[in-house]
Chains A and B, each alone.
Chain A
Amino acid sequence: EVPLVESGGGLVKPGGSLRLSCGASGFSFSNAWMTWVRQAPGKGLEWVGRIKSRSDGGTGDYAVPVRGRFTISRDDSKNTVYLQMNSLKIEDTAVYYCTTYRSCSSTSCSQLPRLHDYMDVWGTGTTVTVS
């Protein structure tokens, strides 16, 4: 069983929109903080943003390059996290991964919230091409 599966990637023109989905299984999704990370072709890893669990406020945090254009949301009834991407730019072209620190979904990390930013479960990635 694959814990995280992304979908929704594709080819979009500059200025367009796309919504990525990431379905989760095999862990307590509702307790997990979910993160999106991207990797441009031949480049390194870039943190895009995260959404906290509802019990921790359910708020999102975003990297500066995507703030105001991207929105992360979650549907705990569907064990799914979304990345809504608007006003896409050529430089948004990348493989997008969803990821989480699964240990925090089964054991409270409220005393050490930084633990949520480790990433021990990754999806296979979905490719977004803006051209």
Chain B
Amino acid sequence: DIQMTQSPSSVSASVGDRVTITCRASQGISSWLAWYQQKPGKAPELLIYAASSLRTGVSSRFSGSGSGTDFTLTISSLQPEDFATYFCQQVFSLPPTFGQGTRLEIK
């Protein structure tokens, strides 16, 4: 299985800050990567697919980049509704695997 490692595991930030979360795959996955946001008690929501494609309806504050083994999710200017947990996921090979999550907290 491909292992996905996110960093940091948690981060504290303020409204208006720029935040970057990284995700590293244990082997190359080209651009077969997605990012999800999950709020407490809710199902995850897809933000970005194909490493950098923004899902329709998702704020342009969110952006993704990377290919191969190293990827980033950037939130350009944090809004109150962005405080949540973020997961990366690879779909390059079965089984699809997720990172352990990054909890974004209000400073």
Contact = CB atoms under 8 A, between A and B. Distances in A.
Interface of A: 44-47, 61, 63-64, 97, 99, 114-115, 117-120, 122-125
Given A114-B91, A118-B34, A119-B34, A47 B43 contact: no
Nearest to A102: B46
B46 A119 contact: yes
B81 to A, nearest CB: 18
Contacts of A124: 42-43
Interface string B70-101: 00000000000000000101011011111111
B98 A46 contact: yes
B92 A44 contact: no
Which of B42, B43, B46, B92 counts the most A-chain CB atoms under 10 A from its CB? B43
A42 to B, nearest CB: 10
Nearest to B32: A114
B32 A122 contact: no
A64 to B, nearest CB: 8
Given A61-B94, A114-B92, A118-B49, A125 B99 contact: no
24 contacts: A44-B100, A45-B36, A45-B89, A45-B101, A46-B98, A47-B95, A47-B96, A47-B97, A61-B95, A63-B95, A64-B95, A97-B44, A99-B43, A114-B92, A118-B89, A119-B36, A119-B46, A120-B46, A120-B49, A122-B43, A122-B45, A123-B43, A124-B43, A125-B43
Contacts of A119: 34, 36, 44, 46, 89
Given A119-B44, A120-B49, 15 more contacts: A45-B98, A47-B95, A47-B97, A47-B98, A61-B94, A63-B95, A117-B96, A118-B89, A119-B34, A119-B46, A119-B89, A120-B46, A122-B45, A123-B43, A125-B43
A45 B34 CA distance: 13
4 closest cross-chain pairs (CB), A and B: A117-B91, A122-B43, A45-B98, A120-B46
Contacts of B97: 47
B18 interface: no
A31 B38 CA distance: 27
Which of A97, A114, A118, A119 counts the most B-chain CB atoms under 10 A from its CB? A118
